[in-house]
Amino acid sequence: KLTAAGPHTERRDCRSFQVLGCVAGTVNVGPEELRAGEFMLLPAALGEYTVAGNGTLLRTDPDGRFRRD
């Protein structure tokens, strides 16, 4: 779970893609806006990206592990 309350930088580890789901509010992931109920796939090679806005994201890797922050 990631709560966005202003801009900050996240980093991908290049192992595999990641799934982000916005469960509350509105969050900008890079140039894209996610609203509650919307999902996004981030490629493994993305590197750094910015998260901003006022909302809550859930994120997971496709290997079945759920990461809590």
pLDDT value at position 37?
95
For residue 21, how many C-alpha atoms fall within 13 Å in the half-sphere facing its CB?
Answer: 9
Whether the pLDDT of residue 16 is over 70: the answer is yes
Q: What is the mean pLDDT of residues 22-47?
A: 90
Say whether pLDDT at 46 is over 90: no
Q: Looking at the predicted structure, is the pLDDT value of residue 11 above 70?
A: no
pLDDT at 23: 93
Give the pTM: 0.70
